Amino acid sequence: MRILVTGGAGFIGSHLVDRLMEAGHEVICLDNYFTGTKRNILRWIGHPNFELIRHDVTDPIRLEVDQIYHLACPASPVHYQYNPVKTIKTNVMGTLHMLGLAKRVKARFLLASTSEVYGDPLVHPQPESYWGNVNPIGIRSCYDEGKRVAETLTFDYHRQNNVEVRVARIFNTYGPKMQVNDGRVVSNFIVQALQGIPLTVYGDGSQTRSFCYVSDLVEGLIQLMNSDHIGPVNLGNPDEYTVLELAQKIQALINPGVEIQFKPLPSDDPQRRRPDITLARTVLGWQPTISLLEGLQRTIPDFAERLGIPYTPMMVEV
C-alpha cells in the first residue's frame, strides 16, 4: 500500500513511519521541519520504499496514495504558540489541502486530532461524546480551536464528498525522539533531571495527566485507519497521574537528589485530563500495554544520548 504521512519527520510521525516501513508499505514522508527532523527518519533515507518530501501542508500538493495519515502540526504549547497564526493555518488550510487530495485520489484519510478539543474539561474522564470546554480567544486557542475546525472539515468532507475518513483524538504521548525543548512535562522533567537542575512544576502539581507510550499510540492509529469505524476515537492511556507524581517518578529514576521547584500555573492549563477509551476497546480491541514506569525507562536513555549526558539507570521501584 502507498501511504502518505504528513509530519512524518516529527515525534509521533517518525514512529508511525517506522511501523509502516517495517510492515512493507511504500511510505511518503512529508514535513517542513518546523518541529520534525531528518534525524528521526534517517534510517529509511535511500530505502526503495521510502520517499522524503520537504513541503508545508499549507500549500497544496499532488500525489498518488492509498492512505493519508495527517499528523502535520506543532503539538506542544511552546511550538504552537510561537506562531499562532501559522498554527491555525496549518490546522485549517493544511487539513483542507490533505482532504482535497484524499477526495481526488480516493484515499482514506486519518486526522490526528487531540485531547485539546476537550479544553479544560468539565466531564471526567473525557468520552468522545463530550463537546468540550474551550476558550476560543486564549493563548492555546490556535491549536485547540484549530483542531476542532480540522475535525469539522473532516466530517464535512465525509458527508458532502464521501471521503473515507478516520478521526483520532490523541492524548499525552511520550517516548524516544521527543524534542528535548518541546516544553511538555515528560521531556521537561527528563531534561532537567539529567542536567541536575530543579524540576519545574507549575501550580501545586495537583493537575492530572495521562501518559501514553508512543508505540501504543501508533498501534492505535494503524488499527483505527484500517477499521470500519470513522470516529472520533480517543487514543491514550487511562492511567491518571498528578504532574507532581510524574516529577517524583522521573526524579527517582534519574537523580533522586535534584529539587522540585514550583512556579505559577500558565493560562488555560487544563486541570484534569484522562481519556475514556471504552470506544477504542470496543471497536478496535485496542488498549495501551506499556506502563508509565516501563515507558520512562525506555525514553530516558534516548534523551541522555542526544544530550550527551552519561546516564546509569537507577534500580528503584517508583
Residues designated catalytic: 143
For residue 130, give Cα distances in angstroms to 137, 222, 233, 241. 20, 24, 12, 21
CA 191, CA 207: separation in Å to the nearest integer?
21
C-alpha cell at 56: 508545508
Nearest to 73 by CA among 43, 48, 50, 97: 97
Beta strands 67-70 and 208-210 are: unpaired
For residue 90, give Cα distances in angstroms to 31, 64, 277, 302. 12, 21, 28, 29
CA 148, CA 6: separation in Å to the nearest integer?
18
Q: What is the maximal distance between C-alpha atoms in the chain?
A: 59
SS3 letters across 125-145? CECCCCCCECCCCCCCHHHHH
C-alpha cell at 271: 486541570
CA angle (301, 184, 81) in 5-degree steps: 140
Whether the CB-CB separation of 180 and 192 falls below 8 Å is answered with: no
